């Protein structure tokens, strides 16, 4: 093609683009501007807790997910309930996915070598069209064998955590997705409101609940990849994307944790377990590690003790700073912690009514749980919101 033909072709394209641009401008007079149109920022999270330890049905938090339906795409939904197994509160409740019966049999042989199994049963579900291709879903109420603990010289929490890691990394076709005492996680591939129906959450009563609707952007949607992610009694629901994942993963895997679930959220659970259970940090201190203030903010602190504490934590755990947009809710026995990234790049609001505290990605979700919720507010970036149940009430 000659240069002259190229020139005329380019000129024709320029004229066509100009014409299309002018036509598009004519239709913009009725376009909605920012603030008038709802643009979901991926994933939905919600939580509720009773500070008096009063029990609530799982149906309550499931209802909070309905107005946030568009934040999910059907590739993952899940819930964590605390206080739901009072009859077995002194035993670890292992919830496990199996791909086939033979895998379950092999896993049970392995568990019997390490635990006393007090009860073993399939987790009750109901068949619904929205949830398909479900694995075998089983639960075990167990306690570690004292002889095994003495031989390995481990405390029972560390022993259970190592057992979970071993099954999830070495036993093909088996995945432990919940392992705490008097709590349980329920998750699947599907929209969260359908997952709640599938697992019959209306039959469970707990003093605290967390919920998640997934919108995966760069990882697959599969049953093990749905939120919450748990280890022992810690559970995490997360909205966002962690740009520091590789640095976080490399550090945490030096201490025996294994990230095998094909999603960045998994590492947050292990980081918090490491900081709180292993290192003995408070939740406030752990929040100051993963959502650490900027160095300039630390330098501006007027309290020398506070400045020294922040400097110490940032210096000691630089590889556990989580960067990128996130809002998370950590569930644990006796409480919840909500936390945004330090720039607050993901929405999260908190409300209260009587002894209940509500947390969600949107105010609409809080109103679905409690229409008369008061004091709705948005925590600042990096500011943890920690709610604890009255001592002895759980």
| Catalytic residue numbers, as ranges | 43
C-beta atoms surrounding 237 within 10 Å: 30
CA 193, chain centre distance (Å): 16
* Contacting residues for 117 by C-beta, under 8 A, at least 6 apart: 108, 111, 140, 141, 142
**What is the residue-wise DSSP string for 350-361?**
EEEETTEEEEES
Cβ–Cβ < 8 Å for 254, 280: no
**At 382, is the secondary structure helix, strand, or coil?**
coil
Residue 191, CA distances (Å) to 25, 40, 124, 187, 290 in order? 38, 15, 19, 10, 29
| H or E element at residue 267 | helix 265-272
Cβ–Cβ < 8 Å for 333, 84: no
Tokens standing for residue 92: 């670890």
382 Rama sector, left if φ>0, alpha if ψ -120 to 50, beta otherwise: left
**Which residue blocks in 27-57 are alpha helix, DSSP H?**
none
Q: Which one, of 240, 229, 318, lies nearest residue 268 by Cα? A: 229
């Amino acid at each position: 093609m000659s240069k002259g033909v190229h020139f005329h072709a380019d000129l024709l394209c320029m004229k066509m683009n100009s014409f299309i641009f002018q036509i598009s401008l004519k239709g913009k007079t009725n376009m909605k501007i920012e603030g008038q149109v709802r643009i979901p920022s991926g994933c939905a999270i919600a939580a509720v807790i009773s500070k008096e330890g009063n029990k609530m049905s799982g149906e309550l938090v499931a209802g909070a997910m309905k107005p946030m339906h568009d934040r999910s795409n059907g590739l993952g939904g899940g819930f964590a309930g605390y206080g739901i197994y009072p009859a077995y509160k002194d035993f670890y409740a292992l919830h496990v996915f199996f791909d086939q019966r033979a895998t379950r049999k092999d896993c049970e042989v392995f568990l019997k070598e390490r635990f006393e199994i007090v009860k073993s049963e399939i987790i009750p579900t109901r068949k619904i069209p929205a949830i398909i291709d479900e694995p075998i879903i089983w639960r075990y109420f167990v306690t570690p064998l004292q002889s095994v603990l003495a031989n390995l010289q481990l405390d029972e929490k560390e022993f259970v955590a190592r057992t979970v890691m071993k099954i999830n990394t070495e036993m093909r076709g088996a995945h432990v997705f919940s392992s705490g005492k008097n709590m349980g996680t329920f998750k699947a591939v599907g929209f969260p409101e359908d997952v709640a129906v599938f697992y019959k959450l209306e039959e469970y009563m707990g003093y605290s609940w967390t919920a998640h609707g997934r919108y995966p952007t760069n990882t697959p949607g599969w049953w093990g990849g749905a939120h919450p992610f748990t280890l022992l009694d810690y559970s995490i629901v997360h909205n966002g994307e962690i740009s520091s994942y590789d640095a976080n993963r490399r550090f945490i895997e030096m201490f025996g944790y294994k990230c095998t679930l094909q999603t960045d959220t998994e590492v947050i659970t292990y980081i918090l377990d490491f900081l709180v259970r292993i290192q003995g940090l408070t939740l406030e201190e752990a929040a100051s590690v993963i959502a650490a203030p900027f160095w300039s903010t630390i330098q501006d602190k007027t309290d020398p003790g506070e400045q020294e504490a922040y400097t110490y934590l940032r210096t000691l755990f630089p590889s556990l700073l989580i960067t990128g947009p996130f809002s998370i809710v950590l569930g644990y026995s006796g409480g919840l912690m909500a936390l945004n990234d330090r720039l607050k790049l993901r929405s999260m609001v908190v409300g209260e009514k009587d002894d209940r505290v509500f947390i969600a990605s949107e105010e609409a979700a809080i109103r679905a749980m409690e229409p008369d919720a008061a004091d709705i507010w948005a925590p600042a970036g990096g500011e943890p919101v920690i709610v604890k149940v009255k001592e002895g009430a759980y």
